[in-house]
Structure 1
Amino acid sequence: MAAPQLEEDQVTCYICLCRYWNPVTLPCGHSFCGTCIQDSWRSSEKLCPVCRQPFPEDTKLCRNVTLSNLLKALPPVLPAPATAIPRQETGAGHSARCPRHGRSLEFFCRTEGLCVCSACTVHECRHHERALLDVERRMLEDQLNARVEITRQQVTKAESQLQELQRQKNQIESSACTLALLVSSRFSSLLQALEKQRDLTMRNIETAKEQALGQALNEIQRLTGHLEALSQYEHSVQDLLGQADDCVFFQELQQLSEPGESPGPLTAPQWDEVQQLNNVNELLSPLCGLLLEEKPPRVAASAAHAGPVEALGPLPPVPSTVCPLRKKLWQNYRNLTFDPDTANQYLCLSRKDRQVTHHYQAQGPARSGSFELWQVQCTQSFQTGQHYWEVHTSHHSVTLGVAYPKLPRRKEGTHTDNIGRGPYSWGLCLLEDSIQAWHNGKVQRLHGVPGHLLGVDLNLTSGCLKFYSLEPQTQLLHTFYALFSQPLFPVFWLLEGRTLTLCHQPEAKLPPEPQEEASALN
């Protein structure tokens, strides 16, 4: 009986799609080039690229002696089979195929933003950042769901503000009507010579009322438009989440536009009932006692004095040499200081608690409530609004972050810091050759090497925490999305010999006190 003919497909590596070179066999029975499987495991989990069976970290690769000897005995190129039958890929549940290699799309290349196959990870995307397709989609779906939740909160807040404006509008109309009736009845009892003054006063009141109502209507239209934009954004996200095709999902996700920033603080209608009466007093000073012996209810005045929902102070001037993005961030600049009671005993504060240095020897006994880890927390905390601060670092191996008040002070485990190790904090760790984003014990490794000047933008209204590198140019490093439910304190970790400095702006606004934030919420 003639021996069966050996085909080229039977001696081809599943990863590089070339003839085996130094073949090795996994415990699951599949064989690969020794270099191909080692490169694959270095860039992803230890799984079989064919059957997706996981292996422990200490799995050893054994050389396939039989296959190696067979390859030596084969001619350089095997004859092609009479009828080519396409090889079926296993372990992939997606219908789409790679246009370059014809294999199932199992990975997502974050560098190029494309779905790729296992062969792409060896050739075109070998040095790119990538992840399993289903893992990447779950992560992006979680982010989208978080944004939808934030959008719903913005809708609730905007509806509440709209109701407040409607109430103020009704109060203004009622107060203006009451004032008009009172002034009209007073002038009716006067002589014919005073009718001209009465008509003038009524026109002034009507003009002031129309101006106040015009301001209220403008704010109502602005909020209504913002609500429509938020509703359209939510519908778009829901349609995207219902998309079954992965390629269409990622393509439409890149084209998805944000609904725009929050409309910001409301402008209270400028209606002053007392001022209107003062104008009458100036016109009719000899008769002011008669005109003002009875005053209308102070309903509208109390509403006008309540002020806007959120007050926005004047913006600090910025130099013209700063890029537009940084100028915008400076509008919410906060001058922060370190809290000495939280500083680890190896940390020394200076420059009015604006600079911290990690010494190799303890600077004194540990304080009650201080960190056992090499960390320090700021005195200020934030619960509402948008806030921005800048930090200068002397070297790498430092961590910037924010944390809830319940962040543990004691050391747990082998880590020298706990920023981002649990659910109560978010942190960005700057290493010598990489960046790591930490939250709830999960790490996301980022590319790039930041400068020594960094910026942190905390937007509690939209639920965003952004980290920027400001040297040599302003560049976004990473963004966290979360529903912040408690006050957030800026917190820092630094290695021995490192120094951190909180940068101050002379004209920056002071951070609000906790009592002020609580009153703003009410």
Structure 2
Amino acid sequence: MAAQQLEEKLTCAICLGLYRDPATLPCGHNFCEACIKDGWAHCGRECPECREPFADGAVLRRNVALSNVVELVRAAERGPEPEPGAEPRPQRHGHPLELFCRTEGRCVCSACTVFECRLHERALLDAERREREAQLRASLEVTAQQATQAKAQLQELQQQSSQIQSSACTLATRVSGKFSCLLQALEMWRALALKGIEAAKAQALAKAQDERQRLQDHLEALAHHDCSVRDLLGQLDDRTFLQESQLLVPPVPLGPLTPLQWDEDQQLGGLKETLSKLGGLLLEERGHPGMPAEAADLGPMEAPGPLTPVPSPVCPLRRELWQNYRNLTFDADSANRYLHLFRQNQQVKHCHQARGQASPGSFELWQVQCAQSFQSGRHYWEVRTSNHSVTLGVAYPELERHKRGTHTDNIGRGPCSWGLCVQEDGTQAWHNGEVQHLPAVSGRLLGVDLDLALGRLTFYSLKPHTQPLHTFHAVFNQPLYPVFWLLEGRSLTLCQQPGAKLLPGSQEEASGLC
């Protein structure tokens, strides 16, 4: 008991262990030098027991006498060194360590159970080890489950981050395009506004010139009259004076000055209204053929309405194609699991996370086809892509749903489909496994013209101007479905034309689709 009390007296109040390099504060309390310094690093410089402040200039000094006492206690606890092969002995009682005190958490001997651990919970060493091993193995299972969960969450986080990056990139591209279109429209209105101001200025200045000429002519007439009057006043002959004075007629009075027509508010009134409407196009997703400039690409999309009086710059070829425009929608059952549909099945986007189980009729490749098909007549549709690395085309209903070979898509790889693949470095036209290489295009806005009567399929690039890319000639003897392939992270939108009509007898009309 005395040894235990001595050990308590030599215990640091911070680390609860025997002093190591004990230092004494001015208040008389002792602590391990490392403990008190660490405590001061996180709290105030004061004694942890009595809270007496420690002066900033004071220096900690080692308590030599206390250090020596601690060393003696440590040596007594260790006892003599055991001989090689001998059983371990306890620190104080000289008996084998056969038990484990669960209350104090240390190995003890039989003497400890009498003198120190009489009322404590104890167990045999091997029994305690087995129980501890079982606890550790259970903890391994828990940590393994946590590791699996953390890896799954990390993967989900990476997928979400990739989706955010892809969405941000697409959004930035779209907003940049909107601003470009807005700037083009603003430039057009600026030129028209300046032209109108110049015309109004020229008209007002022409009237000013006419008025100036009238005033100058009147001044000359007055000067001539004054000269005649002065000559007549100097005439000495009375008869001559009287005869000539009757013939002298003064100039007609000048009259009021004609005001010039110039009104700044009239010049700016229409422009202010136009700019107000134009600002609403910035974040609109859809356009209208009546729009000025290329806001929303002047394509078959919805918009707040036309802005007059600027004429639409859509080329005649594209306007002619619009006469056969078809509004399409995607067939959800045909879409690959990684292709997600939005906006009433008018937009498709490749995402890193699958939607779930694949439908029986879905593509194994990253492809989707439209719900509409065509068997006769002439039909035209337009699509907007987020970037390159997309394929669009038409195919018979028998187009293979499963992957065959090494190609990432099967559009144009066989005899039942025709496709145009838009890549960053070039464009490829595919049919029956044969390819024709074409120059690179922007590929952001594309058109497809299908004339079944003439057996002609033509792909168009619509930006910066309408131009044909490639034409297929074939005898189409089955219904044709528009079909598309997208690289990961890409999106594609089916442009909608307000008021698009169906030709009589088309496959769409027969099936009730619009």
- Compute the TM-score of the two structures, normalised by the length of structure 2: 0.38
Highest CA radius of gyration, 1 or 2?
A: 2
